[in-house]
Amino acid sequence: MKNSLLKKQRKIQLKNKTILLGISGGVAAYKTVELARRLKDEGASVIVIMTDAARNFVTPLSLEVASQNKVHCSLFEDPMAHINLPASADLMVIAPATANIISKFANGIADDLLSTCLLSYSGKLIIAPSMNWKMYENRIFQSNLKKLVSLGIIQTGPEKGVLACGEEGIGRMSEIPDLIEIIRSTLSKKDLKEESIVVTAGPTREYLDPVRFISNRSSGKMGYALARAARNRGAKVTLISGPTALKTPDGLNFIRVETTDEMMIAVKKNTTNTTVLIMAAAVSDFGPAKRSEVKIAKAKITSLDLRQTTDIISEISRSAQRPFIIGFAAETGKNISRAVEKMKKKNMDMIVFNDVTEPGAGFEVDTNRVVIINRKKKNRLALMSKDAVADAILDSFIKTKT
Ligand SMILES: Cc1cc2nc3c(=O)[nH]c(=O)nc-3n(C[C@H](O)[C@H](O)[C@H](O)COP(=O)(O)O)c2cc1C
């Protein structure tokens, strides 16, 4: 996969957004270098402010390289910075947020550049607290934190785990991918807030006996990306997932299933009041004709009788109050006409075609190259991240619907 092309496509997500990134003096400050770089990669303009204490943990030069912007550390170097920097920001993020900066802000204290910028800023603010668990659980600190959250400030983390001091407890800063996700979500346009969307993802398993099954290579990455993107854009989302190794996304209704029948039941139950069904799951097309309750002896299996599984899309598209249906066609080869036929035969509204044999497309990878097809036209997209493909599919849904 060509890195430069992927970078270019990722820019779609945070393009033209200015993020004011405040770094205060906690041990997790070094992680923020990676955060600045990732935000920059996604097309954001990143402006970093560091406290004096933060400079003990990471150098302004590292942040300057990562953000490709001047790093601001002093209240008095540029007399208008504390007003102008917040005024230019679409979003302010403090990561890590020390007990000190949180408590200062909760009490209106402005005694350095970062705390003064916080007071002159009135937009969306995300804080990522990170500290020793005893500091985090301190009652005075907790009341300061609660005050900020009650005023609409978005808190992410901290998480439980081994802390820098070697102790275990709550206090680890949110992981960088989780921070990126909440930043994307906070900055996303909310153009799907009228929609209630069911997304299926991952493979299904059809059991031969308690230990053996027929399945496929689906990782679930495309479906999870769609569920996250729809949630970020304001939709009410239910994610019905087959077995995957992926982290369950926050802020949506998550249903875990294993077999095609279980997925069918979950889809039927959850699509009664749904506006859109996105079938990104790779449902097993067939399974063993019989499921044994006990493990079958190896010597007894010489051949396998198969049965076809239920076709979930056809079942749902027949119902009277059917949602808008988006399906997927994973093919080996450029057989787009088969995808068009499948869309018509199963009465879908849109189908997303991908050739899983193409480099960077299909199973397990983080990228995809798809053709989005509706009843009127085909839109061929370049190789891009699955997150960017998800947004393109949702954009296409909005255009097709209206
Ligand atoms: C080695 C070391 C690690 C520290 N780590 C943290 C931390 O993770 N979180 C925190 O809230 N404070 C931590 N502190 C304390 C802060 O650095 C201290 O409260 C400082 O005044 C914070 O200033 P600032 O909020 O202006 O950056 C640490 C201090 C030391 C010496």
DSSP symbol at 69? S
27 Cβ closer than 6 Å to some ligand 1 atom = yes
- Range 122-149 average pLDDT: 97
Predicted pLDDT of residue 328: 96
118 Cβ closer than 6 Å to some ligand 1 atom = no
Residues 270 and 237 in one domain: yes
116 Cβ closer than 6 Å to some ligand 1 atom = no
Neighbours of 99 (CB within 10 A): 21
> Does pLDDT of 10 surpass 60?
no
> Does pLDDT of 300 surpass 80?
yes
Of all atoms in ligand 1, which is nearest to the CA of residue 97?
A: 11
Predicted pLDDT of residue 14: 85
Contact by Cβ (8 Å): 114, 103: no
Residues 183 and 206 in one domain: no
Q: Answer with the one of 187, 212, 239 that is the final residue of a domain.
A: 187
Q: Catalytic site residue 165?
A: yes
Ligand 1: centre distance to CA 76 (Å): 23
pLDDT band at 2 (very low <50, low <70, confident <90, very high): very low
Annotate 122-131 with b (16+ C-beta within 10 A) or e (fewer).
eebbbbbbbb
The percent of residues above 90 in pLDDT, for the chain, comes to: 82
pLDDT band at 308 (very low <50, low <70, confident <90, very high): very high
Ligand 1: centre distance to CA 32 (Å): 15
Residues 183 and 205 in one domain: no
Which of 21, 55, 100, 134 is the pocket-test mutation for ligand 1 (most atoms within 8 Å of CB)?
A: 100
Residues 235 and 361 in one domain: yes
> Does pLDDT of 6 surpass 60?
no
Contact by Cβ (8 Å): 160, 16: no
> Does pLDDT of 326 surpass 90?
yes
> Does pLDDT of 96 surpass 90?
yes
Which of 50, 56, 98 is the pocket-test mutation for ligand 1 (most atoms within 8 Å of CB)?
A: 98
Contact by Cβ (8 Å): 384, 395: no
Residue 343: Cβ-neighbour burial (10 angstroms; 0-12, 13-18, 19+): buried
> Does pLDDT of 31 surpass 80?
yes
Residues 293 and 160 in one domain: no
Predicted pLDDT of residue 12: 55
91 Cβ closer than 6 Å to some ligand 1 atom = no
Predicted pLDDT of residue 367: 85
The answer to whether residue 9 sits within a structural domain is no
The answer to whether residue 11 sits within a structural domain is no
Q: Answer with the one of 165, 187, 209 that is the final residue of a domain.
A: 187
Predicted pLDDT of residue 69: 96
Catalytic residue among 83, 151, 162, 165: 165
Neighbours of 310 (CB within 10 A): 12
Residues 76 and 97 in one domain: yes
Determine which residue's CA is closest to atom 17 belonging to ligand 1. 25
340 Cβ closer than 6 Å to some ligand 1 atom = no
Determine which residue's CA is closest to atom 7 belonging to ligand 1. 26
Q: Answer with the one of 187, 213, 228 that is the final residue of a domain.
A: 187
Contact by Cβ (8 Å): 130, 170: no
Predicted pLDDT of residue 356: 81
Residues 180 and 200 in one domain: no
Residues 160 and 46 in one domain: yes
Which residues form the domain of 112? 16-187
- 158 cis-preceded (ω within 30 degrees of 0): yes
For the domain that residue 56 is a member of, what is the CATH number?
3.40.50.1950
- Range 197-226 average pLDDT: 96
Of all atoms in ligand 1, which is nearest to the CA of residue 100?
A: 25
The answer to whether residue 3 sits within a structural domain is no
Determine which residue's CA is closest to atom 14 belonging to ligand 1. 26
What gap in Å lies between CA 246 and CA 32, rounded to an integer? 24
What gap in Å lies between CA 231 and CA 237, rounded to an integer? 6
- Range 299-321 average pLDDT: 93
Ligand 1: centre distance to CA 53 (Å): 7
86 Cβ closer than 6 Å to some ligand 1 atom = no
Number of independent structural domains in the chain: 2
Annotate 169-195 with b (16+ C-beta within 10 A) or e (fewer).
bbbbbbebebbbbbbbbbbbeeebeeb
Ligand 1: centre distance to CA 88 (Å): 28
pLDDT band at 169 (very low <50, low <70, confident <90, very high): confident
pTM: 0.81
Residues 35 and 164 in one domain: yes
pLDDT, the chain, mean: 93
pLDDT band at 8 (very low <50, low <70, confident <90, very high): very low
Task: Give residue for tokens 């009652």.
Answer: 139
More confident residue, 319 or 61: 61
Task: Give residue for tokens 């006996």.
Answer: 209
For the domain that residue 354 is a member of, what is the CATH number?
3.40.50.10300
Residues 243 and 345 in one domain: yes
115 Cβ closer than 6 Å to some ligand 1 atom = no
Phi, psi of 14 (to 5 degrees): -120, 25
